[in-house]
Structure 1
Amino acid sequence: MSETAPSAGWRLKLAGAALVISILAVLWFAAAALGSKYGLWGWQFGLGKMTIAWGRYVAFLSVGIAVIAFVIAFIKAPRVQPAILSLAALLIALMLLFRLIGFGAQAASLPPIHDIQTDWSDPVRFSEALLAQRKTDAAMNPVQDEPVIPEAANARWPGMGGRLVSEVQEEAENPKMVDGDEVAPAYRRPIEPLYFDQSPGEIASYATRIAEARGWAIFTRPETGEDVQQTMLEATATTGWFGFKDDIAVRIRAVDGATRVDMRSVSRVGLSDLGANARRVSAFMDELADRANGRLEP
């Protein structure tokens, strides 16, 4: 007479429940982002409440239950099935937790600005049509020639409130000394204009193709004729998860026998852009320089 193999019983059920909770935690964060993107709720609720305020509790809960299930799986035989399920639950929960911790660390390391451009001494200005579109879409952030960080930023970034965005951007682009040690800049390199030998019209063609390849919605197409001396590309980029919209302007003009390109990227909402605009400008300008042999001097 054969013996029946022992069952993990409630331990297996606990491990399965832990795995389900971890998967639901992933869906929680996905719902927070996609719900904001598709208008089910505002970004303040999706990002501020569901992700930042409540997300930590969701992540810690899933980690805690997974740890308990993993420990209990080894109390007695059979151990393999409950251990595998609880380990899978733990790995998923830890991935979420570390992602959330990394998000917080990134936010703390970057300045509270959402407006980046290559030359604050001669600001890139958006067209009245795009500014009107921002107003229609209820953009919360104004577009100014000399923006100042709101005093409210002092709550999370002490001493930043009231400072010029241009000064803070410059600091973020360059290394600084802290207690005698050099600290790497927040942005990977300075945000600078580029110069080209080709005409403004030719460079405008390159810029348009790059913008289209990146999936930006073109708002103003630049002129591309041979006689063009100055033109502008305007576009809007939408983030994949939360659906945040950032407006972009690329100014292309003839200067000192060369074609100079300046660029600006501005978020419509939020105090800090988590470095998104700086990364966008740097990546776009790098690709434009690679395609058309750009340089940093006239």
Structure 2
Amino acid sequence: MSALTNTSRRGGKWPLIIAWLAIILLLTAAVLMAGSGYAYKAEWIGLGKSFVWLSQGAKLSVAAAVVGVFALILGAVCRRWRPALVGALVSLAVVAMIAMPMQLKQRAQSVPPIHDITTDMENPPAFKALATAREEAPNEVDYPGADTARQQKAGYPQLKPITLNMPLAKAMDNAIAIVRARDWDIADTTGNTIEATATTRWFGFKDDVVIRMTKLASGVKVDMRSASRVGTSDVGTNAERIQTFLEDLEKQ
């Protein structure tokens, strides 16, 4: 009789059921969110479908967090510490899992909705070797123009060309070394230009890069352009890519 009373006080099977439900929701959300990018990258699904998976995964992760908190509370009340621990771990896992999408969402709201960034908006470095690949993509080959330049000036005023105090050949060698260290696919190099493609890890988005060097009396001027093949907004990726590349090149 005392054993039955003790089981009743401890909530019976409900703490375990709710804890398992939280785990199932969490795993399903993780599969949808992680799989959305990799499935698109593998060309199994389209971009629209991948975003649907991502959205569904985010909603399921919130549901998992709610159920996890409930499992934590019920487990604590019933003194069922394992279900309570599971609930706590699920809730923490959800926080970690949705941190990146939330940061991307906040970042998207804080940067201009453009996808083609350059240090020279009056005479942007041109895509030549990559022109065909860009013609086959949704976004244009040529720099979009004055409206994009205006938004870039407002959103990324710090982006400027740099001047290197070294011979052109040395500057080119250093730039090529950095491009290779970043695992960008080099499409072509000339005496003063480099064209390459950077591929994002999660969704496999392809962003094309062209680096142009001009000899000056004071050294070598380096201009750079980075443009996404798809999407209206790059969420600040291209500007960050240019900024970090030029900083690394200047350090060398």
Aligned to 1:133: 133
The whole-number CA distance in structure 2 between the counterparts of 1:258 and 1:235 is: 24
Aligned to 1:36: 40
Query: Cα RMSD (Å) of the superposition?
Result: 2.0
The whole-number CA distance in structure 1 between the counterparts of 2:237 and 2:78 is: 50
* CA apart distance, 1:145: 3.6
The whole-number CA distance in structure 1 between the counterparts of 2:206 and 2:231 is: 11
* CA apart distance, 1:241: 0.2
Contact 2:200–2:206, Cα closer than 8 Å, also in 1: yes
Aligned to 1:252: 213
Q: Is structure 2 residue 67 aligned with structure 1 residue 24?
A: no
The TM-score, its normalising length taken from structure 1, stands at 0.77
Unaligned stretches of 5+ in structure 2? Answer: none
Aligned to 2:94: 93
Deviation per CA, 1:265-294: give whole Å up to 9, x if none.
000000100100011000100000000xxx
* CA apart distance, 1:51: 1.9
* CA apart distance, 1:110: 1.1
Match of 1:284 among 242, 245, 251: 245
The whole-number CA distance in structure 1 between the counterparts of 2:15 and 2:74 is: 7
Match of 1:143 among 137, 141, 144: 141
Going from structure 1 to structure 2, the CA distance change for 1:16 and 1:276 (only over 3 Å counts) comes to: same
Contact 1:16–1:86, Cα closer than 8 Å, also in 2: no
- Matches for 1:1-298 after TM superposition, within 5 Å: 9-47=13-51, 49-52=52-55, 54-77=56-79, 79-127=80-128, 129-135=129-135, 138-147=136-145, 164-174=147-157, 190-223=158-191, 231-291=192-252
Contact 2:156–2:239, Cα closer than 8 Å, also in 1: no
Unaligned stretches of 5+ in structure 1? Answer: 149-163, 175-189, 224-230, 292-298
Going from structure 1 to structure 2, the CA distance change for 1:146 and 1:104 (only over 3 Å counts) comes to: closer
Aligned to 1:156: none
For 2:67, what is the secondary structure of its paired residue?
A: helix
The TM-score, its normalising length taken from structure 2, stands at 0.90
Going from structure 1 to structure 2, the CA distance change for 1:271 and 1:139 (only over 3 Å counts) comes to: same
* CA apart distance, 1:98: 4.1
Deviation per CA, 1:242-281: give whole Å up to 9, x if none.
0000000000121234211100000000010010001100
Quote the sequence identity (%): 29
Residues paired across the two proteins, number: 246
The whole-number CA distance in structure 2 between the counterparts of 1:249 and 1:95 is: 35
The whole-number CA distance in structure 2 between the counterparts of 1:105 and 1:122 is: 32
Going from structure 1 to structure 2, the CA distance change for 1:34 and 1:84 (only over 3 Å counts) comes to: same
* CA apart distance, 1:32: 0.5
Contact 2:207–2:229, Cα closer than 8 Å, also in 1: yes
Contact 1:112–1:272, Cα closer than 8 Å, also in 2: yes
For 1:73, what is the secondary structure of its paired residue?
A: helix
Contact 2:210–2:224, Cα closer than 8 Å, also in 1: yes
Going from structure 1 to structure 2, the CA distance change for 1:56 and 1:29 (only over 3 Å counts) comes to: closer
The whole-number CA distance in structure 2 between the counterparts of 1:16 and 1:86 is: 9
Structure 1 counterpart of 2:85, one-letter code: I
Structure 1 counterpart of 2:35, one-letter code: A
The whole-number CA distance in structure 2 between the counterparts of 1:284 and 1:59 is: 35
Structure 1 counterpart of 2:107, one-letter code: Q
Contact 2:25–2:60, Cα closer than 8 Å, also in 1: no
Contact 2:22–2:90, Cα closer than 8 Å, also in 1: yes
Contact 1:19–1:88, Cα closer than 8 Å, also in 2: no
